[in-house]
Chains A and B, each alone.
Chain A
Amino acid sequence: MTGHLAILPLPLPYPFELSFMQRALVAGLVVGAFAPMIGTFLVQKRMSLIGDGIGHLAFAGVAFGAVAGVYPLWTALAVSVAGALGLERLRAKRRASGDLALALFFYSGIALGIVLLSRQLSPTNVLVYLFGQILTVTDGEVVTVLALGAIVAAAILGVRRALFAVVADEEWATVAGLPVGLLNNLLAVTTAVAVVASMRVVGILLVAGLMVLPVASAQLLARSFRGTMGWAMAIGVGSVVVGLVASRLWNLASGGTIVLVAAATFAVVAVVTGGRSRGLFRGLGLGGVPPAGPVRTEGSSILGDSHSG
């Protein structure tokens, strides 16, 4: 895809004075904001790794595009969206447990990609999608990322309350008459779109990192779901900017640097907030505040003082 952003380069200071850095910055800011926005819902839904699974499908899509001579972003988008909907269907119908369904897609996707690439003589151009090369993003790709980002942001923000209700308590949402299937499918599709849009920025292998790591930090800083989303987006954007600067200064791989910054942010936040006491390691089964449930507290037991009526 070609295109030309006539306004570039803008008069920005070092290290963003050159056009390629400004293209990288625009694409990175968009992805840095909307990947964690979706990630907030995925973490609440306990599907943190779905981005990784869809990334593997995107790899198959890229390989298909490379072999067929089609723009790989589009083939990746088609395969990822179809796969995400299939994955959601498996989960919803309980035909396979969440992690088993992910594994099915993980390995089918990567295997299909490898087989497809074996039919191509020179597969080197696929590496930019696997590892991300944000510094070589073209004008056309920036426009594509902007468009996909706008679609994702509008869709998610428009239904954020209902989506929160569904990912937080699906059974209750079903009884309440919320369109659970529609919203789950919407989340699956926007996740797929976000993965594909993020491929050129951080690479297929690290997409899930940019979706989830900022959320891990944000949940320690925020005291509401809305606040968590805001913090996650801010940390995502900050990670992209710092990662880009670091990769320019020290000639580092940009995708890896961005995700490492997000991981380092988590480490700092965890130490500063005393993460363990706020349930930081709950999801890993390493302690923290016990999960919610029919807990018997506040001086009342099931036999306690309820005999007096």
Chain B
Amino acid sequence: MGYDLGIDSHSRDDAGTVDDGPLAEAEHVSFSYGANPVLEDVSLAVSRGEFVALVGPNGSGKSTLLKVLLGVLRPSAGRVRVFGQVPDRFTERWRLGYVPQRPELTSEIPATVEEVVAAGRLARGGWWRRMRPADRQIIRHAIDSVALGDMRSRPLNELSGGQQQRTFIARAFASEPRLLVLDEPIAGIDRESQDRFRDSLTHLKAEHGAGVLLVSHELSAVARDLDRVVVLKRRVLFDGPPAELMATGVSLGIHREDLPLWLEGLG
């Protein structure tokens, strides 16, 4: 099952030119936690319709780079643009779909899958207004796209870890994003859900020209669809097509132990 946005995919972006350049771009970005440098002179761009995987060992700065791109963290040096704008001034936030590595939504109070996914729709069209039937339709599509259709009324704290993660992916889909940023989204998701996840991403990319930036240790589910792989270890060690990385990885000094899984996935 693919992810059906339920709208005419081309009409939304006609008015603006923000999608003409890179959807997200970091130029010579550095970032430190105190005296501890996490990113050094990192440059990265994701264009419309591109599917980019960001890989690297634990502590290599992957999540930090995502947060810098999303405007959650400010770089200590360098330049960041999201849809051509400085993150602080970027107002059309619905264009960014974000799946955090460790969603903060804990289970203190039961919240249904539908309630969580509906939150994703708030970014589109005004958080203060009432949900319209069209919004509810898109929320249903987003839930269906991660195969949780029969669980939409179930409280999140009764679902497995993988089902919870799929809920957060659906929340990101609900704003019909033009750039999807996912931090370890398929950790803990069963094989069938991984396949559905892949279908959803490829549909989002093919039909709507969305870009995808994915941080993951497990690339096997999406290996065939990747346009580029970026290897990060504080600096960018490699940025190019998967096949090229397979051929030149070792000569670039990228050690196999730094990249535990994806080589098998890409092979």
Contact = CB atoms under 8 A, between A and B. Distances in A.
Contacts of A223: 110, 112, 153-155
A169 B162 contact: no
Nearest to B159: A292
Interface stretch (A57-65, A95-103, A175-183): A175-183
Contact of B122 (A165, A279, A309): A165
B113 to A, nearest CB: 10
Contacts of B184: 294
B10 interface: no
Interface in A253-309: 279, 282-283, 289, 291-300, 302-303, 305-309
21 contacts: A159-B128, A161-B118, A168-B116, A169-B100, A169-B103, A171-B104, A175-B98, A176-B98, A224-B110, A224-B155, A228-B110, A289-B107, A292-B105, A294-B161, A294-B188, A297-B160, A298-B190, A299-B190, A303-B260, A309-B223, A309-B224
B94 interface: yes
Contacts of A299: 190-191
B93 to A, nearest CB: 3
A150 B122 CA distance: 25
B127 A162 contact: yes
A155 B103 CA distance: 27
Given A162-B128, A172-B100, A224 B153 contact: yes
Given A175-B71, A176-B98, A292-B156, A279 B107 contact: yes
Interface residues of B, number: 66
Contacts of A307: 220, 261, 264-265
A227 interface: yes
A168 B165 CA distance: 15
Given A161-B127, A307-B264, A225 B112 contact: yes
Contacts of A227: 110
Contacts of B103: 169, 172, 292-293
Interface string B216-246: 0111110110000000000000000000000
Interface in B182-197: 184, 187-191, 193-194
Nearest to B71: A175
B93 A176 contact: yes
Contacts of A174: 72
A80 interface: no
Given A161-B118, A177-B91, 9 more contacts: A46-B108, A161-B127, A164-B111, A168-B119, A172-B103, A172-B171, A175-B98, A282-B107, A292-B164
A178 B128 CA distance: 10
Given A168-B104, A294-B184, A43 B161 contact: no
A191 interface: no
B72 A175 contact: yes
A293 B102 contact: yes
